[in-house]
Amino acid sequence: MSVLELARSSRWVSRFKIFYSQRKLFLTSSSSFSTTSTANNDEGPARPAAPPIRVSLTESAGRGVFATRRIGAGDLIHTAKPLVAHPSLSAINSVCYFCLRKLKTTSQTQPLQFCDKNCKEQSKVFYGLERRANWSAYDDYCRTHGLKYPLLVKRLACMVISGVAAADGLDILQPANLSSIMVSQMEEGFGLLRSAFTKANILDEQIAFLTKTWYTSVLARIRINAFRIELARGVYEDLLLSAAASVEAEAAVGNAVYILASFYNHDCDPNAHILWIENADARLKALRDVEAGEELRICYIDASMDRDARQTVLSQGFGFQCNCLRCVSGD
Ligand SMILES: C[S@@+](CC[C@H](N)C(=O)[O-])C[C@H]1O[C@@H](n2cnc3c(N)ncnc32)[C@H](O)[C@@H]1O
């Protein structure tokens, strides 16, 4: 599993209420994230300012994201565009096939739809290729086994063949440790994916990257780093409303992988969170004041669970023992 879910504990809500009563989202290309602020000078057009963060090694959790200056409670740290996203099968006819925005109208005659011309245009190349193949066996495989991540691999493979993504695009992300049983369970998916392309007469040289090693290595990274996307209702810029949005979020519309957002480590009492307002573009926001040099951490799971349940989910899903302050204090 690797479901980075927003915690929905009453603990979180009360924290947001306190903030509100006081009135008080390097290693990748700049297109992978953007900020709301702009650095302007006299020599050219305004350019997005770098987000106030850096990725560095932590003492015990691999790489992590650190604040490079003070960030205020409720501040937008940065936004992030997915490297790859895919609707969940249950939402496939009701959300944009590219950005996962809820569609205003659904059509039975044309099941896969885009919300606007821009999304259609951005998907044109890989969607054109995807449409050449018959995905019924692969999709059935996902459906019967309750798998969502192979859909991300399918889309990534189509993007790589179309030249809009690099085959090694996810290599920078930490992979999950896969047991030999897990690897053998992935063989069926790999076989179905490859055969869908070969049956569609995609040339061998175009799918030379699509080896079993590539397939399992991509899935190992997706497993640890994919975010399950739940859209908040409406537009919430206010901190309290953001909290309400995460509490009232609708069912997941899909899954996505981001580069920068994947470097945020977990804390059961986090100082940052990730949310989605209208589509798969993510926002990383500070939950409380963060000082320069402090590590920014989000919560991967439902923080309302007790310590033992949280430790079990983190260990089974992400392969680590959480030693955040909350866990260490036994809370
Ligand atoms: C999404 S990645 C976060 C970035 C990762 N540290 C890296 O170097 O790429 C999740 C992985 O980071 C590590 N991690 C995250 N939070 C942690 C924590 N609270 N304690 C220990 N390890 C943690 C675990 O290895 C986990 O599987």
Q: What is the pLDDT of residues 300-331, one digit of tens each?
A: 999 999 999 999 999 999 999 998 999 999 99
Q: Is the pLDDT of residue 38 over 80?
A: no
Q: Are 272 and 264 in contact (CB under 8 A)?
A: yes
Structural domain span for residue 191: 129-147+166-224
Report the range of poorest mean pLDDT among 33-42, 63-72, 96-105. Answer: 33-42
pLDDT by residue (tens digit) across 162-216?
Answer: 999 999 999 999 999 999 999 999 999 999 999 999 999 999 999 999 999 999 9
- Residue after which a domain boundary falls, among 206, 224, 242: 224
195 phi-psi bin (left φ>0, alpha ψ -120 to 50, beta other): alpha
Ligand 1 atom closest to Cα of 61? 22
- 318 and 253: one domain? yes
Per-residue pLDDT, averaged over 270-285, amounts to 97
- Ligand 1 pocket test target in 5, 255, 266, 299 with most atoms within 8 Å of CB: 266
Nearest CA owner, ligand 1 atom 4: 263
Q: Domain ends where: 207, 224, 241?
A: 224
Predicted confidence band of residue 110 (pLDDT cuts 50, 70, 90): confident
Q: Is the pLDDT of residue 248 over 50?
A: no
Q: Do 270 and 177 sit in the same domain of this protein?
A: no
Last residue within a domain, chosen from 158, 191, 224: 224
Q: At 164, give phi and psi (nearest 5°).
A: -100, 0
From ligand 1's centre to the CA of 225, what distance in Å?
9
Task: Give residue 249's pLDDT.
Answer: 44
What phi and psi values does residue 81 have, to the nearest 5 degrees? -95, 140
Check if 224 has its Cβ closer than 6 Å to any atom of ligand 1. yes
DSSP string, 305-329: S-HHHHHHHHHHHHS-----HHHHT
- With a cut of 50, say whether residue 22 has pLDDT above it: no
Identify which of 19-33, 106-120, 203-217 has the greatest average pLDDT. 203-217
CATH assignment of the domain containing 259 = 2.170.270.10
Asked if ipTM goes beyond 0.95, one says: yes
Q: Structurally, how many domains does the chain consist of?
A: 2
Residue 242 lies in a domain: yes
Q: Is residue 67 part of a domain?
A: yes
In percent, how much of the chain has pLDDT > 90? Answer: 76
Ligand 1 atom at shortest distance from the alpha carbon of 173: 9
Q: Is residue 189 domain-resident? A: yes
pTM beyond 0.90: no
Query: What distance in angstroms lies between residue 266's CA and the mean position of ligand 1's atoms?
Result: 7
Closest residue by Cα to residue 218 from 195, 180, 239, 189: 189
pLDDT score, position 20: 29
CA dist., res. 284 & res. 280, Å (int): 12
Please give the structure tokens belonging to residue 214: 């590539």
